Structure 1
Amino acid sequence: MAEILLLALVLGLSAGLAPGPLLALVIAETLRHDVAAGIRVAIVPLVTDLPLIALTLLLLAQLAELQLVLGAISVVGGVVLLLMGYEVLRSPGIVVDPGPDVSVRPPTSLVRGALANLLSPHPYLFWISVGGPLMLKAMAVAVALPVLFVLIFYACLVGSKILLAVMVGRSKALLSGRALTYGFRLVGVLLCLLALGLFSDGLGLLGSIGQGAIGSDILPAKA
Structure 2
Amino acid sequence: MYEIAEFLVTGILLGFAAGISPGPLMAITISESLQHGSKEGFKVAISPLITDFLIVSAVIYILMHFQQQNSVIALISLAGALYLMHLGIASLKTKNISINVSNLKKESLKKGVLANFLNPHPYLFWIAIGGPILFRAAEVDRLAQIMFVIGFYALLVGSKMVIALFVGKSRDFLKSKYYLHLFRSLGVLYLIFALFFIQQGLELLGLHIWR
TM > 0.5? yes
Look up the match of 1:205: 204
> Amino acid of the residue matched to residue 67 of structure 2?
A
Q: Comparing 1-10 with 129-138, which one deviates more in the overlay?
A: 1-10
Cα distance, 1:76 vs. partner?
0.5
The answer as to whether partners of 1:74 and 1:199 remain within 8 angstroms in 2 is yes
Shift of 1:118: 1.3
How far apart, CA to CA, are the structure 2 residues paired with 1:87 and 1:29? 26
Which structure 1 residue ranges, 4+ long, deviate > 4 Å from structure 2? none
Is the Cα–Cα contact under 8 Å of residues 28 and 44 in structure 2 kept in the other structure? yes
Give matches, 1:139-218, under 5 Å. 139-208=138-207
Q: Counterparts of 1:16 and 1:177 in 2: how far apart (Å)? A: 18
Alignment of 1:103-142 (within 5 A): 107-142=106-141
Shift of 1:139: 1.0
Which residue number in structure 1 is paired with residue 94 of structure 2?
91
RMSD (Å) for aligned C-alpha atoms: 1.6
Deviations 1:128-165 (A, max 9, x none): 11001101111110022211211111001100000011
Q: In structure 2, do the counterparts of structure 1 residues 83 and 20 end up closer, same or farther at CA, with 3 Å as the change threshold?
A: same
Distance 1:90 1:112 in 2: 30
Give the drift of 1:208.
4.5
**1:175 to 1:63, Cα distance in 2 relative to 1, 3 A:** same
What residue number does 1:216 align with? none
**CA offsets per residue over residues 188-214 of structure 1, 9 Å max, x none?**
2211111111111111211359xxxxx
Q: Percent identity?
A: 39
- Whole-Å separation in 2 of the counterparts to 1:57 and 1:99: 35
Asked if 1:56 is matched to 2:59, the reply is yes
1:99-127 deviation line (CA, Å, top 9, x unaligned): 34x6xx5x111111122211111100100
1:37, 1:109 within 8 Å by CA — same for their partners in 2? yes
Task: Indicate if the aligned counterparts of 1:19 and 1:184 stay in contact, CA closer than 8 A.
Answer: no
Say yes or no: does 1:20 pair with 2:12: no
Please, what TM-score do these two structures have when normalized by structure 1? 0.86
Asked if structure 2 preserves the Cα contact closer than 8 Å seen for 1:32 and 1:99, the reply is no
Q: CA deviation at 1:88?
A: 2.2
Deviation at 1:180? 0.4
What is the DSSP-based 3-state SS (H/G/I as helix, E as strand, rest coil) of the residue aligned with 1:144?
A: helix
SS of equivalent residue, structure 2 residue 100:
coil
